[in-house]
C-alpha cells in the first residue's frame, strides 16, 4: 500500500483503530475469493491430514502451524497464476498491487472510475468421486461419530447419487485420515 501511496491507517469499510490498519482489511475484500479458492483446492487435493488440525474444547477446528505452511504454499501457487486483466495477463499477486494503484488514482482524481470486479478467471474444480462414494457408503453410525446429523447425511447421499454440488459445512466436514 505504501508503494501505491496509500496510508494503511485510513480505511473506508473497516473502523479505524490504533492497533489496526483498516485499509489492509478493506483491500482484502475484493480478493478474498482467491483465498477461498485456494482452501477449496487444497482440500480437494487432499494436502491436509487430520494431524494438521486441532479441535478445541468448544469443538472449534483450528489449523496447526504445519497445516498453515501447506496452505501458504498453495496460496503462493494461486497468487502466481496468470489471470486476464486490462487486455493482458498478470499474476494474481500483481493484480492486487494494480488495483491498489487504481484506488490511489481514483482518490487523487486521476481516474474517473474504480473497477474492483473479479477478473474473468477459469477456476478448476476437482469433484472427487472418492468423496461421493464415501458419502454413498457411509453408515449413520460413522456419520454420527464425525459429528454429523441424520438430515445432513441424507442430503449428502442424495447429492452424491444425483451428482449434485456439495456444500459441506465446517461442522460436518469429514477430513481425510
pLDDT tens digits for 65-99?
A: 999 999 999 999 999 988 877 778 888 888 888 88
Give pTM, 2 decimals.
0.59
Mean pLDDT of 108-136: 74
Distance CA 89, CA 23 (A): 26
Q: Which domain holds residue 10?
A: 2-123
Split into its structural domains, the chain has a count of 2
Per residue in 11-25, pLDDT tens? 777 776 666 788 888
Same-domain status, 90 and 9 = yes
Same-domain status, 114 and 131 = no
Q: What is the CATH number of the domain that holds 46?
A: 1.20.120.920
* Per-residue model confidence (pLDDT) at position 1: 59
Q: Which of 123, 147, 167 is the last residue of a domain?
A: 123
Same-domain status, 109 and 159 = no
Amino acid at each position: 500500500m505504501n508503494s501505491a501511496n496509500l496510508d494503511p491507517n485510513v480505511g473506508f469499510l473497516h473502523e479505524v483503530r490504533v492497533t489496526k490498519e483498516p485499509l489492509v482489511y478493506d483491500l482484502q475484500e475484493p480478493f478474498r475469493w482467491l483465498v477461498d479458492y485456494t482452501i477449496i483446492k487444497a482440500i480437494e487435493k487432499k494436502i491436509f491430514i487430520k494431524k494438521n488440525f486441532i479441535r478445541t474444547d468448544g469443538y472449534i477446528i483450528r489449523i496447526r502451524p504445519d497445516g498453515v505452511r501447506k496452505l501458504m504454499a498453495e496460496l503462493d501457487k494461486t497468487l502466481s497464476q496468470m489471470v486476464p486483466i486490462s487486455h493482458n495477463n498478470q499474476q494474481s499477486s500483481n493484480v492486487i498491487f494494480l488495483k491498489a494503484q487504481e484506488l490511489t488514482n481514483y482518490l487523487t482524481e486521476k481516474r474517473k472510475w474504480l473497477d474492483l470486479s473479479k477478473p474473468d478467471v477459469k477456476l478448476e474444480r476437482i469433484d472427487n468421486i472418492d468423496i461421493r462414494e464415501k458419502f454413498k457408503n457411509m453408515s449413520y453410525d460413522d456419520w454420527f461419530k464425525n459429528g454429523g446429523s441424520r438430515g445432513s447425511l441424507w442430503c449428502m447421499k442424495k447429492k452424491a447419487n444425483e451428482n449434485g454440488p456439495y456444500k459441506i459445512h465446517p461442522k460436518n466436514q469429514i477430513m481425510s485420515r
